[in-house]
C-alpha cells in the first residue's frame, strides 16, 4: 500500500469511532457532520477491505480486523501528536493518551490498582493497556513502541535501553494459617527444605534468580505443582498443605484476603529490587517522562 495514496485523516476518524462506538459522538469528537463521517467510514472500508464496524443495538461494534488495528493506530497518532507538539509538553489533566505496560501479574495485583486510583483525578482521560511480560520479543516491542514501559525484577541494561529502580522487596514463604508450621515461632532450614512447595513458572525473573541462588547452596525442594499465575498460587497455598516462596509485599497483600501465614526464609538473602525499563529513544517523550516519574513517586510511598 502506497502511503502517499492514503488520507491520513482517516486514521483519526477510525480512532474516534473505535473510542466512541457511536457515529454521532465520533463525528462530534472530530468535528465532522454525520454525512461526512459516513463517507469517511466508507473510504476506510474500501482502504482496508473490511467492514471494520458493524451497527448493532449497542452501537458500532468493531470487527476483529478493526480490533487488531486499534492499538497500532492509537500509538501512531500519539507519536505524531507528541512529535509535532511545539514545545513537546504533556498535560495529564487534559491528555487522552493510552500507555501500554508489560508488568506481569505481580505488579498488576500489588501495585497497579493503587496507581490507577491515584491517577483518576490527576489524569482522568488517560488509559492503560496491560500485557504480560513478553519474554523473548520484549526488546522488539519496546523498540517498535508497541510497549511503553516494562516492570521486572531485572533491568534492561543493554545498549538502547534505560532502567530505574521502583522499589526493593525481600523474599518470604507463605503457607495456610492451618499449616503445621504456621504457629511455629522459629522455622528452620530443614522445615523449609522438607516442606511441599508450589512453584511459580520460572519465567518470572525473581523466581528464576531465587531458584538459582538456592541451588548454589545445595538446597533441593520438592515441588508438588508448578503454576503459571500468582493469584492461583496464593489460593492453592491457602487451601492446601503446600507452601510457596514469594516477595514479601505480595505475601502481605494476599494475607489481607486469604488465611495465610508469612514466614522469613531461613537463609541470608539479598534484597530483590524491582525496575521499570524503556527504550532510550523515548527518554525525552514528555508523556512517558511524566508517567515514569509518577510511578517512582507511587513506589516510594508504597
280, pLDDT greater than 60: yes
In the chain the domains, ranked by start, together with CATH numbers, are 3-84 (1.10.10.10), 98-166+279-301 (3.40.190.10), 171-270 (3.40.190.10)
What mean pLDDT value characterizes the chain? 87
Residue 55: CB partners within 8 Å, gap ≥ 6?
A: 61
The pLDDT value recorded for residue 4 is 67
CB 244 within 8 Å of CB 197: yes
Render pLDDT for 157-166 as a digit per residue (tens, 0 to 9).
Answer: 778 899 998 8
pLDDT category of residue 3 using cuts at 50, 70 and 90: low
pLDDT category of residue 153 using cuts at 50, 70 and 90: confident
The pLDDT value recorded for residue 86 is 45
Sign of the alpha-carbon torsion through 231, 232, 234, 239: positive
State the Cα–Cα distance between residues 201 and 13, nearest whole angstrom: 42
168, pLDDT greater than 70: yes
Cα–Cα distance list, 242 to 171, 174, 246, 265, 267 (Å): 17, 9, 13, 15, 19
Quickly list DSSP for 266-278: SS----EEEEEEE
The alpha carbon of residue 300 and the mean position of all alpha carbons in its chain are separated, in whole angstroms, by 19
Neighbours of 235 (CB within 10 A): 14
State the Cα–Cα distance between residues 43 and 293, nearest whole angstrom: 41
Cα–Cα distance list, 267 to 169, 176, 181, 214, 262 (Å): 15, 21, 17, 9, 15
Of 22-31, 186-195, 269-278, where does mean pLDDT reach its minimum? Answer: 269-278
Residue whose C-alpha is closest to residue 266's, from 172, 189, 195: 189
| Grid cell of 41 as nine digits | 467510514
DSSP symbol at 195 = S
**171-176 and 243-247 beta bridge pairing:** antiparallel
Residue whose C-alpha is closest to residue 260's, from 251, 248, 272: 251
262, pLDDT greater than 70: yes
| Grid cell of 172 as nine digits | 518470604
pLDDT category of residue 1 using cuts at 50, 70 and 90: low
Residue whose C-alpha is closest to residue 243's, from 288, 187, 297: 187
Cα angle, residue 120 at apex, residues 117 and 121 outer, rounded to 5°: 125
By CB atoms closer than 10 A (0-12, 13-18, 19+), residue 43 is middle
Render pLDDT for 75-123 as a digit per residue (tens, 0 to 9).
Answer: 888 777 766 654 557 899 999 888 999 887 778 888 888 889 989 999 9
Average pLDDT over residues 142-165: 85
Q: If DSSP codes are grouped into helix, strand and coil, which group holds residue 42? A: helix
pLDDT category of residue 180 using cuts at 50, 70 and 90: very high
Render pLDDT for 23-39 as a digit per residue (tens, 0 to 9).
Answer: 999 999 889 998 999 99
Global pTM exceeds 0.75: no
The pLDDT value recorded for residue 84 is 66
Of 12-16, 179-183, 206-210, where does mean pLDDT reach its minimum? Answer: 206-210
The alpha carbon of residue 2 and the mean position of all alpha carbons in its chain are separated, in whole angstroms, by 35
Tell me the percentage of the chain whose pLDDT exceeds 70.
Answer: 92
Amino acid at each position: 500500500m502506497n502511503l502517499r495514496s492514503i488520507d491520513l485523516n482517516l486514521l483519526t476518524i477510525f480512532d474516534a469511532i473505535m473510542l466512541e462506538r457511536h457515529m454521532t459522538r465520533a463525528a462530534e469528537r472530530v468535528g465532522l457532520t454525520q454525512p461526512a463521517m459516513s463517507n469517511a467510514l466508507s473510504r476506510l472500508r474500501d482502504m482496508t477491505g473490511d467492514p471494520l464496524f458493524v451497527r448493532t443495538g449497542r452501537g458500532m461494534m468493531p470487527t476483529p480486523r478493526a480490533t487488531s488495528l486499534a492499538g497500532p493506530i492509537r500509538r501512531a497518532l500519539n507519536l505524531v501528536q507528541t512529535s509535532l507538539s511545539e514545545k513537546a509538553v504533556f498535560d495529564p489533566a487534559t491528555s487522552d493518551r493510552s500507555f501500554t505496560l508489560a508488568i506481569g501479574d505481580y505488579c498488576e495485583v500489588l501495585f497497579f490498582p493503587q496507581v490507577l486510583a491515584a491517577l483518576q483525578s490527576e489524569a482522568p482521560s488517560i488509559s492503560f493497556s496491560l500485557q504480560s511480560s513478553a519474554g523473548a520479543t520484549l526488546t522488539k516491542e519496546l523498540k517498535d513502541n508497541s510497549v511503553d514501559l516494562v516492570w521486572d525484577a531485572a533491568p534492561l541494561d543493554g545498549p538502547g535501553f534505560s532502567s530505574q529502580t521502583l522499589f526493593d522487596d525481600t523474599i518470604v514463604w507463605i503457607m495456610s494459617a492451618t499449616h503445621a508450621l504456621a504457629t511455629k515461632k522459629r522455622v528452620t532450614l530443614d522445615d523449609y527444605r522438607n516442606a511441599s512447595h508450589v512453584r511459580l513458572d520460572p519465567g518470572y525473573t525473581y523466581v528464576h534468580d531465587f531458584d538459582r541462588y538456592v541451588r548454589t547452596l545445595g538446597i533441593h525442594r520438592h515441588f508438588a505443582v508448578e503454576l503459571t499465575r500468582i493469584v492461583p498460587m496464593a489460593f492453592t497455598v491457602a487451601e492446601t498443605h503446600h507452601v510457596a516462596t514469594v516477595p514479601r509485599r505480595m505475601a502481605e497483600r494476599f494475607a489481607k484476603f486469604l488465611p495465610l501465614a508469612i514466614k522469613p526464609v531461613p537463609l541470608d538473602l539479598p534484597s530483590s529490587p524491582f525496575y521499570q525499563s524503556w527504550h532510550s529513544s523515548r527518554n525525552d517523550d514528555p508523556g512517558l517522562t511524566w508517567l515514569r516519574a509518577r510511578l517512582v513517586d507511587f513506589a516510594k510511598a508504597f
